[in-house]
Amino acid sequence: MIRAARIGVVGLLGLGMATPAFAQDPLQPYQMVRSLQLVQDKLASGDHAALPMQNKLLEMVDARFRASKPDDFKEPRNLSALLVYGMSGGNPATVGSVTGRIQLDQTNQVIVDGILDSLGGQPGPAIAALEPVDPMTLSPDIGAFVALIKGSLLSVEDPVQALKLLDQARLLSPGTLVEEAALRRSIGLAALHGDAARFALASTQYASRFLYSPYASQFADAFVSGAIALDGAIGQDKLAES
């Protein structure tokens, strides 16, 4: 994931308060997406106050991409930011509109197709589009999201492969909302696959790292369902540790 130095909420609020000296120099899309990711990481760590900031930044980033020109994407970081935006809860209509105006290489086009199919509720085409893409060959910021999406899409069809992909997402983006989501999904998949050891480990890791995430209620639901499904396969001591 695109990384940057940690900055406070006051600094982020400054995005909308440019001084006249900088009024003619709008932020690049990749700079705005960095700020979005920083806020999302704060959410993962339990800062619920960052949720409205995330929503506001999504609106700002969306507007910036809609106003972008093809020349903006001569800067490779802006293209990467567009893909990250699409995989971070961005507006698929915006992603489709922007990518329709620029030339993409084969790999990026495949990723865009997979993003749009996934967001459009078409898991079959999304799986087919992303099938040849190895997340570990991509830059970490893109690869982490691709691994998360592929893992989520394959969770029913191939839970073993899905778990491997979710592990890749965590490896590529530790301490982020991507890792939080990947770890949370891993818990349900481990239970579905009957992997009691993996279920216990993932539950312990989630509880120690992301228990105050705004999505922790989903973890709780997956944990209770998994503990019931694996009754007898996992010791009470392990459940207590989780």
Judge contact between 162 and 155, C-beta under 8 A: yes
Instruction: Specify the amino acid at residue 40.
Output: Q
pLDDT digits (tens, 9 = 90+) for 44-101: 999 988 989 999 999 999 999 999 999 999 999 999 999 999 998 899 999 999 999 9
- Mean pLDDT over each residue of the chain, to the nearest integer: 86
pLDDT digits (tens, 9 = 90+) for 99-143: 999 999 999 999 999 999 999 999 999 999 999 999 999 999 999
User: Whole-angstrom Cα distance, residue 242 to residue 240?
Assistant: 5
Q: What is the pLDDT of residue 231?
A: 79
Judge contact between 9 and 51, C-beta under 8 A: no
| Closest by CA position to 44, among listed 215, 196, 189 | 215
If you write DSSP's letter for every residue of 135-158 in order, what string do you get?
GGGS-HHHHHHHHHHHHHHTTTT-
User: Whole-angstrom Cα distance, residue 57 to residue 59?
Assistant: 5
Q: Is the pLDDT of residue 25 over 70?
A: no
Helix or strand or coil: residue 129?
Answer: helix
If you write DSSP's letter for every residue of 182-233 in order, what string do you get?
HHHHHHHHHHHTT-HHHHHHHHHHHHHHSTTSTTHHHHHHHHHHHHHHTBTT
Rounded to two decimals, the pTM is 0.83
Judge contact between 72 and 25, C-beta under 8 A: no
For 234, phi and psi rounded to 5 degrees?
A: -135, 130
Joined together, the tokens standing for residue 48 give 């619920």
Q: Which residues contact 241 (CB under 8 A, 6 or more apart)?
A: 200, 204
Q: What is the pLDDT of residue 17?
A: 35
The tokens 């997406």 sit on which residue? 33
